[in-house]
């Protein structure tokens, strides 16, 4: 247990780790590891003698997988961050430590209990032993045992859920392996001053939520839950995508200053944001906010939005224990509609499943959920659930300015089917003499490549398109939007994406269908000149990005952008396109928060 390597775990040296900037800004505070908490609840059961060998084998395999994970993590640590390696390698050694490995095997055999239970008993005993020691060095070894046994436990249970996640009740920087939308929805978000995750990229839900909350986030920090301990001080620089563990006094002073400058700049931009975004040649572009929760409407208003371009409604389904009732949905939508009135709210129907599961729906596990029974596919299969939501939306539309939008449409038949159910719902409300507004704009997301390719046909059925680049990029480039290993390949300025948007734009404008963009591509000021050249009529994004996007729109004339667009369309790689934007509009981005 006290190998040479373990001694190096007690480091209080400053360590800088580079990840992916998911949300800009800087925070300095105490870390709170959520992954470690989650595996505390384990199933306990007794075994027959005949099952003991297989159970020990299962435990050994879980250790092997944990060891393989550690190897992968170690191999992916960049050479400049060698300090982390000591900790990770020491954890790997601990996996096979007699006190843990041998004792768990023996415990399974002698007590005839399942591996999770045995491991829990063994690890609790060791952790207690360390915790009771007066020397702080040894007490910290208890935390190392927890890291290691939790990793084995996760491999045994396959459970990465954080059961205690909702219990966080202090202002912390959240450190997690990954945060699914379901997990994030259980956190008391106002308590979080920043996020650090091992997985995820710029468009993962952790990034989106962090940007909405205006808290910094750094994702893709390999081994974060291993190298960071709860209550240690860390700096998160979401603008640069860097975290600093155990910062020294110099770094603390430097980052305190950077934080103040960032906040002053953000405030000054927000002051100007409520003004219209009009290009120098007099074209007005609407810049709207995306929300997932009713509580975010305030942020939309504070950042000078021209309305809500995307209300992701699935969160209400994910935060409750059973399907919300029509009345609950109606009340929620009506409140949003009221708060934002007279500006519009674009309510997107349920985009459940994929990466946004609601446990109580008990749907069968899917091998490939983002290509599975998600969003409109689910709603068409479960029309009663779909109609309940549609009724609530149509009723809320009586009280303000509502647009309705269908997600994940992939072909003409789907939009026809969705609209048929909408019509039936209107008739049913009418028959029952329930007040509603059926005269609302109906649109669809363009986030599946087939919908982009068929947009000329789709245009006959809708009032507007809203391009969802988060999924459009994921599906077109075959890049998992939440996988940090391929996050560098998630490129909004990929020539294929630009061409798809151009196809949609031509179809929309030929058929007089309005063209919006509500994917995160619209939130990056650097993309604005290209999106203007491509004819996007309305932008929608995480509210904190609105001021900087408006500021760029005000500086780019849309008069004769065709030479610029032609040049862009000839390029073979995202880097070439970035270079052209930089050469043509580089001056605009000197002072922008990206």
Q: How far apart are CA 214 and CA 191, in angstroms?
A: 13
Question: In this structure, what token pair is assigned to residue 569?
Answer: 């369309």
- Tokens 């729906």 sit at which residue? 361
- Return the beta strands (E) in 343-469 as ranges: 345-348, 402-406, 441-446, 464-467
* Min dist. Cβ of residue 527 to Mg ion (A): 17
Q: Which is nearer to Mg ion, 73 or 451 (CB)?
A: 451
Q: Which does 519 bind (CB under 5 to 8 A by kind): Mg ion, ligand PEP, none?
A: ligand PEP
Q: Which does 292 bind (CB under 5 to 8 A by kind): Mg ion, ligand PEP, none?
A: none
The phi, psi pair for 291, rounded to 5°, reads: -130, 160
Q: Which does 312 bind (CB under 5 to 8 A by kind): Mg ion, ligand PEP, none?
A: ligand PEP
Q: Which is nearer to Mg ion, 370 or 412 (CB)?
A: 370
* Min dist. Cβ of residue 88 to ligand PEP (A): 33
The mark string for 509-538 relative to ligand PEP (x by CB under 6 A, - otherwise) is: ---------xx-------------------
Q: How far apart are CA 289 and CA 305, in angstroms?
A: 6
Q: Which is nearer to Mg ion, 521 or 556 (CB)?
A: 521
* Min dist. Cβ of residue 368 to ligand PEP (A): 16
Nearest in space to 393 (alpha carbons), one of 323, 453, 330, 449: 330
How many residues make contact with ligand PEP (CB under 6 A)?
10
Is 205 labeled as catalytic in the residue annotation?
yes
Nearest in space to 476 (alpha carbons), one of 456, 503, 454, 497: 497
Query: Which residues sit opposite 184 in a β-bridge?
Result: none
Q: Which is nearer to Mg ion, 468 or 482 (CB)?
A: 468
* Min dist. Cβ of residue 448 to ligand PEP (A): 9
Question: In this structure, what token pair is assigned to residue 232?
Answer: 């240690």
* Min dist. Cβ of residue 487 to ligand PEP (A): 15
Instruction: Count the neighbouring beta carbons within 10 Å of the beta carbon of residue 103.
Output: 18
Q: How far apart are CA 281 and CA 275, in angstroms?
A: 16
Q: How far apart are CA 481 and CA 209, in angstroms?
A: 15
Q: Which is nearer to ligand PEP, 277 or 523 (CB)?
A: 523
Q: Which is nearer to Mg ion, 194 or 354 (CB)?
A: 354
Which residue in the list 91, 147, 177, 205 is annotated as catalytic? 205
The residue ranges that bind Mg ion (CB under 5 A) are 447, 468, 471
Q: How far apart are CA 563 and CA 576, in angstroms?
A: 16
Q: Which does 469 bind (CB under 5 to 8 A by kind): ligand PEP, Mg ion, none?
A: ligand PEP
Q: Does residue 23 bind ligand PEP (CB under 6 A)?
A: no
* Min dist. Cβ of residue 372 to ligand PEP (A): 14
Question: In this structure, what token pair is assigned to residue 452?
Answer: 């982009």
Work out the end-to-end distance of the chain between its first and last CA atoms, rounded to an integer number of angstroms.
46
Taking the CA of residue 459 as centre, how many other CA atoms within 13 Å lie in the half-sphere pointing to its CB? Answer: 19
Q: Which does 104 bind (CB under 5 to 8 A by kind): Mg ion, ligand PEP, none?
A: none
Q: Which is nearer to ligand PEP, 117 or 317 (CB)?
A: 317
Q: Which is nearer to ligand PEP, 198 or 471 (CB)?
A: 471
Site for ligand PEP in 429-488 (CB under 6 A): 447, 468-471
CB distance 226 to 198 below 8 Å: no
Site for ligand PEP in 69-128 (CB under 6 A): none
Q: Which is nearer to ligand PEP, 155 or 476 (CB)?
A: 476
* Min dist. Cβ of residue 541 to ligand PEP (A): 9
Q: Which residues, other chains included, contact 397 with Cβ-Cβ below 8 Å and sequence gap of 6+?
A: 337, 404, 436, 437, 438, 440
Our measurement of the distance from residue 431's CA atom to the centroid of its chain's CA atoms, rounded to an integer in Å, reads 41
Our measurement of the distance from residue 254's CA atom to the centroid of its chain's CA atoms, rounded to an integer in Å, reads 29
Instruction: Count the neighbouring beta carbons within 10 Å of the beta carbon of residue 268.
Output: 11
Is 232 exposed, middle or buried (CB count within 10 Å of its CB: 0-12, 13-18, 19+)? middle
CB distance 473 to 447 below 8 Å: no
Q: Which does 285 bind (CB under 5 to 8 A by kind): ligand PEP, Mg ion, none?
A: none
Q: Which does 91 bind (CB under 5 to 8 A by kind): Mg ion, ligand PEP, none?
A: none
Q: Which does 181 bind (CB under 5 to 8 A by kind): ligand PEP, Mg ion, none?
A: none
* Min dist. Cβ of residue 32 to Mg ion (A): 29
* Min dist. Cβ of residue 223 to ligand PEP (A): 27
- Tokens 């620089």 sit at which residue? 237
State which of residues 103, 120, 303, 312 lies at the interface with ligand PEP (CB under 6 A): 312
242 Rama sector, left if φ>0, alpha if ψ -120 to 50, beta otherwise: beta
Q: Which does 518 bind (CB under 5 to 8 A by kind): Mg ion, ligand PEP, none?
A: ligand PEP
Site for ligand PEP in 324-363 (CB under 6 A): 351
- Tokens 């959240």 sit at which residue? 174
Which residue in the list 27, 105, 379, 518 is annotated as catalytic? 518
Active-site residues, by number, are 205, 518
Under the rule (CB under 6 A), what is the footprint of ligand PEP?
A: 310, 312, 351, 447, 468-471, 518-519
């Amino acid at each position: 247990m006290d190998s040479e390597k373990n001694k190096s775990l007690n480091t209080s040296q400053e360590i800088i780790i580079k990840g992916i900037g998911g949300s800009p800004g800087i925070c300095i505070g105490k870390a709170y590891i959520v992954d470690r908490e989650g595996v505390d609840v384990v199933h306990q059961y007794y075994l027959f003698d005949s099952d003991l060998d297989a159970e020990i084998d299962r435990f050994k395999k879980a250790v092997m997988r944990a060891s393989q994970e550690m190897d992968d993590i170690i191999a992916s640590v960049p050479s400049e961050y060698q300090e982390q390696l000591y900790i990770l390698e020491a954890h790997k050694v601990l996996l096979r430590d007699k006190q843990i490995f041998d004792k768990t095997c023996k415990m399974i055999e002698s007590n005839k209990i399942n591996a999770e239970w045995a491991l829990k008993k063994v690890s609790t005993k060791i952790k207690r032993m360390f915790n009771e020691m007066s020397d702080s060095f040894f007490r910290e070894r208890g935390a190392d045992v927890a890291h290691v046994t939790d990793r084995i436990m996760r491999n045994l249970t396959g459970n990465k859920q954080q059961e205690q996640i909702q219990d966080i009740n202090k202002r912390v920087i959240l450190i997690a392996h990954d945060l699914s939308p379901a997990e994030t929805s259980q956190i008391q978000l106002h308590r979080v001053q920043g996020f650090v995750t091992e997985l995820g990229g710029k468009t993962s839900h952790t990034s989106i939520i962090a940007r909405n909350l205006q808290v910094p986030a750094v994702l893709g920090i390999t081994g974060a839950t291993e190298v960071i301990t709860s209550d240690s001080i860390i700096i998160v620089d979401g603008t640069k995508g860097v975290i600093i563990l155990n910062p020294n006094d110099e770094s603390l002073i430097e980052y305190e200053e950077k934080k103040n400058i960032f906040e002053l700049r953000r405030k000054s931009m927000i002051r100007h944001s409520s003004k219209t975004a009009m290009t120098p040649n007099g074209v007005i572009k609407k810049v709207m906010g995306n929300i997932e929760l009713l509580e975010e409407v305030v942020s939309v208003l504070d950042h000078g939005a021209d309305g809500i371009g995307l209300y992701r409604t699935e969160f209400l389904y994910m935060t409750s224990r059973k399907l919300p009732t029509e009345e609950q949905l109606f009340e929620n939508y009506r409140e949003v509609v009221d708060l934002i009135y007279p500006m519009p709210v674009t309510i997107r129907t349920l985009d459940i499943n994929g990466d946004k599961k609601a446990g109580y729906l008990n749907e069968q596990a899917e091998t490939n959920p983002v290509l599975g029974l998600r969003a409109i596919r689910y709603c068409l299969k479960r029309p009663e659930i779909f109609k309940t939501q549609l009724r609530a939306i149509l009723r809320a539309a009586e009280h303000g300015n509502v647009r309705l939008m269908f997600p994940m449409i992939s072909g003409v038949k789907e939009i026809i089917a969705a609209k048929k159910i909408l019509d039936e719902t209107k008739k049913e409300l009418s028959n029952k003499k329930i007040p509603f507004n059926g005269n609302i704009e109906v649109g669809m997301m363009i986030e599946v490549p087939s919908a982009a390719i068929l947009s000329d046909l789709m245009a006959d059925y809708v009032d507007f398109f809203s391009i969802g680049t988060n999924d459009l990029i994921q599906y077109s480039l075959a890049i998992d939007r939440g996988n940090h290993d391929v996050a560098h390949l998630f490129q909004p300025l990929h020539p294929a994406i630009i061409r798809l948007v151009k196809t949609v734009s031509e179809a929309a404008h030929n058929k007089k269908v309005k063209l919006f963009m509500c994917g995160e591509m619209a939130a990056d000021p650097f993309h604005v000149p290209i999106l203007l050249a491509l004819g996007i009529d309305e932008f929608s994004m995480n509210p904190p990005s609105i001021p900087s996007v408006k500021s760029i729109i005000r500086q780019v004339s849309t008069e004769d952008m065709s030479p610029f667009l032609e040049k862009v369309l000839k390029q073979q790689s995202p880097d070439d396109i970035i270079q052209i934007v930089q050469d043509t509009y580089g001056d605009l981005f000197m002072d922008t928060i990206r």
